[in-house]
Structure formats: structure tokens, C-alpha cells
Amino acid sequence: MHRKQHRSERQRCRLAPAVIQQAFTSAVQNHQAGRLNEAIRLYGDVLKASPRHADSLHLLGVAASQMGRHDLAADLISQAITINDTVAAYHASLGNALAGQQNLDDAAQCYRTVIGIEPDNLEAHNNLGNALKQQGRLDEAAACFHTAIGLNPGLPALHFNLGNTLLERGLLEEAVACYRRTLDLKADYPEAFNNLGNALGDQGRLDEAIVSYRSAIDFKPDYLEAHYNLGAALAKCGRLDEAIASCRRALILKPDYPDGHNNLGVVLMQFGRLDEAAACFRTALDLKPIYPNAQYNLGNALMAQGQVDEAVVCYRRALDLKPDYPEAHNNLGNALREQRQLDAAIASYRAALQVRPDYAEACNNLGTSLMEQGRLDEAAASYRNAILHKPDYPDPHANLATVLLAQGDMAAGWREYEWRWKMPQMIPGRRCFAQPQWRGEAAEGRTLLIHAEQGFGDTLQFCRYATLAAAAGLRVIIEAPKPLVRLLRSLSGVDLVMQYGADLPAFDFHCPMLSLPLALGTTVATIPGATPYLCADAARAAFWQARLAAIAGDGPRIGLVWAGNPGVCLPAKAAMDRRRSLSLEQMAPLVEIPGMHFFNLQKDGPASPGRFPLVDVMGEMGDFADTAALIVNLDLVISVDTAVAHLAGALGKPVWLLNRFDTCWRWLTGRRDSPWYPTLRLYRQPRPGDWGAVLAEVARDLRDREWA
């Protein structure tokens, strides 16, 4: 029985060539019809009869590749090439199998072999281009696609592939042209519409991008990427409801799509819906735990919610999964800076720059952390590096300005400071008048509108320049917030002070208040430091003189301000306020000094605990003019860096400023005095957060001071 089977097998191996060809033809027909299992069986029969049947080995390998068995495919096709290495199709199929294994170098070599055998093999040029593109060799890939297009300009896929390569190179206009040519050749090509939308969006042409994404969806309603790209474009246009609806439609198509939940979270976060955004990122991570982008985005959402410790954990997890993630390094640095771990923050920014040396935002953030450590020269170098990589980025320009001003280089500092108007937080406050901005030119007899900007303290410091403008022969009008209007009317030479929002009279020029030092060429030597330049109302001052005599009697009268405006709506301002402000409990070394009368000068800030002997009449202060009338009857004001310190300095009263380590630029560096206020003395923290040393020195000076 065994011998008969053996003879039958040998007989089958000696099948006539016509029978083998018939079996091969049947296999090919089944293969072309998509019946892969039957095709594979028939190729196997042929190979049993003729083990060196190269075409069967080749096509059996192609079938294996189609089934995802790329290793087996490569082995079978290699055997076919060994038998007949001059057949271009074999090398092409081996290239496809190797590409499926992501063995791109060897795949590219296979395609080059095909081109060597058949120089006009369009498919080989196209496949070689795709392999090179995946390797990031974009110029070579584009050359391949151009060659393929030269062989057959009418194939839409070739223009599409070239467009994708150009898009990745950042050649947006050329990419747009390729996608449009693709669509001229094949109008129902949803992928081309989608990628055209991406190119248009990168150009800022969002309305056109939205139209293109919608066209992609019209041709392919279940096109997930197009739904999400449409949502992102709508979000950038501020069309929140439509953006969210687009992302949710995609999730209906595929609820377990982690990228979809992540993208929806990004859209929700853009519009401040942080709880919902964080939930989306967590869902994405439940579906795909190894997802660095979702970890990063969750960190951003938590950071925006003020959950800094939790954000740090997320950024570190993202970096564990993807160590070369520059954005995660940068934002980890921001979170560490918020925790006041400045050395660690600096290390994170430097790590981001190791991955991406031209990362302007990381350069800017590095500069800010260096500045907060008092390393001003290094900070300036980092800001300049950011500007080098991104010249139109306003933040490093404005930040460099603060370093230059702090160092006393006011000529350069005031010029750079004009960039503040391009910063996102400043743009809403920018005034757009038809009249030109005054830049110091001669304009005697003309009317100048000076408009206040930023905080009360800035206005109190820089309103002095209105008097200089008036002395230059201009008629000066000031526009300011209501709490300052009555007080600013005491400025010498000012014709009119108006409340912000009131109808303005005619004027010829305008100037933001903090642009006046640039217009007038201010240097450290020419700061207009004469005080007082603001005056309290005489009748109100006399009233408070009598009140204080009855309340306090003999002994020094000292006004106290221990906290500034927390700025809860602006994270950067809130962080700065946490560094400049104290609690009244921390002021105990001063308040408990006997023989002195302390007055609360906090307005709308934290109330003073009852156990401290502070006189509190701030409920009777309607505006800064009222506060000025109180302050002129005090002997000394001790304040953190707030508007009250500026008010006391402008009134010519003695001021002791409790100054944080990362001092504001206006107080310069290495000084105990201020050219802005001759009566002001600075007490700066010797190290970040060290209020104890400051208050000990102030208490000692209070005890030693001789009171008139």
C-alpha cells in the first residue's frame, strides 16, 4: 500500500506541462477573483508538481503578503527571484512584502532593481517614492513621484502622493496645487479632499479647508479623519457647537476610537470645558494606555484647572512613553516652574531644546525661568535665541524688554516693549484710533490723548509723562479708569482727565501711557523722578488729619499693604501675585512692634484678622483720591509691589517696598533706591520666597528709625 502511494506521488510529479499550466491558470483566476484560499491551494499543487515554478512561488508570496504574512511572502518571492532574477515583477512584489515588514531600505533596493530592469516601470517609481517618504527622505521621494508623473500624467494617485510629500515638506502652495490636480483627474477622491483641507488649514485658509473636509465626507460619510479634521478647523474658527458635533459624529461611527476621544478633548479644551476635556483624554487612555499624546493633553487640561501636581505626573508619563517629546518637556517645565522648582524647570526646557533646537516657545520659557533666578544675561540670550528662530513671536520680544529695562538699557528696552501689543493677553486692550500714535515729534498746539493701560500701578507710575508732554506744548487729555480720574486731575499741565468709556473729544494724536518713555527718549539718567507729581485734595487731607489725630494720637502712623490683586482669571498674573504677596500673619514681626499705629491700606483684598491692632478705614475709601488723602497723613507706607506703593511714591511719602526675589523690571537691579521715587526704599528677598529675612530687616529699621 505504501509503495503504491509512493508511485502515485511520483506520477503526479511527472504531470504534463499543459496540466501544470492549467492548474496555474486556475490559481491566477481565483487569485484575481479574491478567492485567496483556493488560489493558495492551487499554487501549492503546481509547486508540488514543479517546485521551481517561479511564477507560482511569486504569486503565492503575493497572496501571503495580501494576508499580512509579510515574512512568508518575502521568503517565497526571494525563492522566485533565485530561480529568475531578471523578472521585474518578482522584485516589485518582494519590495512590497519588505515594505509591509517596514524593512524600507531593502524594499527601496528592490524597487531600484525593478527600475534597473524596466526604467519606465511607473509602479516601481511610485513605490520607491512611498518607501523613501516613509524614511523621511522627502526630496528623493518627490523626485520619484515627478518621474512617475512624467511617465503617466493622468494617474490621480501619483499627484496625490506627490502632494502628500510636499505637504510634509511644508511646501503648502505646491501641495495644494497637487491635490487640486488630483481632483481634476478624479473628482470623487475623498482622501485628496481631506489632505487638501489639511494643506489649506496649515495656510490659515480655514473656510476653504472646511469646504474641502465637507466634500471628503460627502463622498465617504464614514471617513473618521475627515470628521475630526473638520471639527478641528471649526474649532479654530470659534464655531464650538459645530466642532463638537463633528467630533461626536465620528465617535458614533467608531465609539472605541481613542484618537477620536483625544481629538474631541482637544476641541472642548479650546473652549474652556476642562472637565469634559479631561474626561475625553481619560477615555482615550482607557482604550489605549500607551498613548503619549493623550497623556500630554490630559496634563494640559489638569494644568489649566490648577491641578499642577497631577499635571506633572501626566507629563512624566507621556515622556516615559515618548522621551523625545519636546512639547511634553516644555509643558513639564511650565508645571515645575509653577511649583517653583526652577532648576528642574530649566532642565526640562533644555531637554525640549535638545530634541528641537529651534523650539522658540521653549527658548522663551527657559529665559523666563532664568530671569526669575536673577540670571539676566542668560535670560536675555535665551529670549534672543527664541527671536532668532521665530522673529514675529511677541512674547520673547516683550520679555527681553523687561530684562533690558531691569538692566538699565532703557533705549533698547522701550523699543522692545512695544511688542507687548502683539501678545495675546494685551491685544484686547489695544486701542485702534484713526489718529496716529505720537512718537515724540514736535506738535505744539496739537491735542494728545494719553490712554491708560494695564494696572492701576502702571498708570500711577507713568502718568507723570503727561506733564512732560504738556511742557512740550501739547494740549493733553488723559483717559483712565474711574478709580483714578479724580486723583489724576491733580497732574500739572493736563487739560482734561476722562473716565474710560466716555465719549472722547477731538484729538490729533494718541499714545498708550507706557509708550511715553519711548516717545520722550527716557534713560535711567533722564527718568522724571521729581515728586510729588500727584496731590491729595486739600479739604479731604485736612479731614483725615483731624480723624487720625483722634484715632491714633501720638506715635508713628504706618500704612500696611501685604497682598496684591490675585488675578485669578490670568494664570501668569496669579502666579506672580503668589510670589509678591504675604499673609498678615507673616507681617506679625512688624505689627507687634510697640508704640506704633498701623493702618490697613488693603482695598478689596484679604481682611485683617481681629487679633492684629490695625486701624481699618478702607471702607470709607471710594477711589484713589480718597486713599491719597489718607496717605498724606501717614508717616510711612510699607507695601508689597502694588498700586499703593506707587501712590505713596507719587505723593512724595516715604515708602518701604517689600520686594520679591524675581523683582519687577521697574525696580532695576542691584539697588536699594529707585530713580522713579526718591522716597522709596527697596527690601528684596535674598532668595526666592524668603520673606522672613525681609521682615526681620524691616522690623530692625522700624525700631531704629528716628521719627520726626
686 and 548 together in one domain = yes
pLDDT value, residue 13: 45
> Does the residue 456 lie in any domain?
yes
Looking at 467, 498, 526, which one is the last position of a domain? 526
**Average confidence (pLDDT) over 522-544:** 96
Answer yes or no: do 580 and 555 share one domain: yes
Q: Which residues contact 331 (CB under 8 A, 6 or more apart)?
A: 296, 299, 300, 303, 311, 315
Asked, for residue 518, whether it belongs to a domain, the answer is yes
Mean pLDDT on 672-682: 96
Co-location of 474 and 601 in the same domain = no
**Res 196 pLDDT > 80:** yes
Predicted confidence (pLDDT) at residue 185 exceeds the cutoff of 50:
yes
C-alpha cell at 572: 501668569
Residue 86 confidence (pLDDT): 62
CA atoms within 13 A on the CB side of 302: 23
Which CA distances in Å does 433 have to 4, 128, 544?
Answer: 105, 58, 42
Query: Which CATH number do you get for residue 464?
Result: 3.40.50
Going by pLDDT thresholds of 50, 70 and 90, the confidence category of residue 286 is very high
Whether 49 is covered by a domain: the verdict is: no
Q: Is residue 369 part of a domain?
A: yes
Instruction: Compute the distance between CA of residue 695 and CA of residue 303 in angstroms, rounded to an integer.
Output: 33
612, pLDDT greater than 80: no
Whether the per-residue pLDDT at 316 is higher than 50: the answer is yes
514 shares its domain with 556: no
The answer on 697 and 592 residing in a single domain is yes
587 shares a domain with 522: no
User: Judging by DSSP bridges, how do beta strands 557-561 and 509-512 pair with one another?
Assistant: unpaired
What value, to the nearest 5°, has the Cα angle with vertex 315 and ends 309 and 321?
140
- Look-up of cell digits 491733580: 490
**Tens of pLDDT along 398-408?**
999 999 999 99
- With 90 as the cut, is the pLDDT of residue 692 above it? yes
Give the pLDDT band of residue 106 (cuts 50, 70, 90): low
**What is the sign of the dihedral through the CA atoms of 388, 394, 395 and 401?**
positive
pLDDT band, very low/low/confident/very high, at 16 (cuts 50, 70, 90): low
The 3-state secondary structure of 596-649 reads CEEEECCCCCCCCCCCCCEECCHHHCCCHHHHHHHHCCCCEEEEECCHHHHHHH
Last residue of a domain, one of 378, 401, 425: 425
Q: At 335, list the grid cell.
A: 508645571
Q: Is the preceding omega at residue 532 within 30 degrees of 0, hence cis?
A: yes
Same structural domain for residues 336 and 450? no
Whether residue 556 is found in the same domain as residue 676: yes
Q: What is the pLDDT of residues 656-675, one digit of tens each?
A: 999 999 999 999 998 999 99
559 and 698, same domain (yes or no) = yes
Q: Name the strand (E) or helix (H) holding 449.
A: strand 447-451
Chain mean pLDDT for the chain: 87
Q: Are residues 548 and 624 in the same domain?
A: yes
Q: What is the pLDDT of residue 424?
A: 86
**pLDDT greater at residue 518 or residue 106:** 518
Number of domains in the chain: 3
Domain-located, residue 248: no
Q: What is the CATH number of the domain that holds 372?
A: 1.25.40.10
> Considering only CA atoms, which of 587, 372, 576 is closest in space to residue 455?
576
User: Quick one: 385 and 451 in the same domain?
Assistant: no
CA distance 630 to 594: 22
- Asked if 444 contacts 473 with a C-beta cutoff of 8 angstroms, the reply is yes
Whether 566 and 645 map to the same domain: the answer is yes
Compute CA 625 distance to the chain's CA centroid, rounded to the nearest angstrom. 41
Residue 613 lies in a domain: yes
Encode pLDDT of 570-607 as tens digits.
Answer: 566 677 778 889 988 899 999 989 889 999 999 865 55
Asked if 251 contacts 260 with a C-beta cutoff of 8 angstroms, the reply is yes
Let me know if residue 295 belongs to a domain: no
The last residue of a domain, from among 425, 447, 464:
425
Confidence at 134, pLDDT banded by 50, 70, 90? confident
The predicted pLDDT at position 58 comes to: 61
Residue 627's contacts (CB-CB under 8 Å, 6 or more residues apart) are 601, 603, 621, 644, 647
Q: What is the CATH number of the domain that holds 614?
A: 3.40.50.2000
Give me the percent of the chain exceeding a pLDDT of 70. Answer: 85
What range defines the domain where residue 445 resides? Answer: 435-526
- The yes-or-no verdict on residue 6 having pLDDT over 50 is no
Classify residue 176: in a domain, yes or no.
no
Rounded Cα distance, 80 and 466, in Å? 90
Predicted local confidence at residue 2, as pLDDT: 41
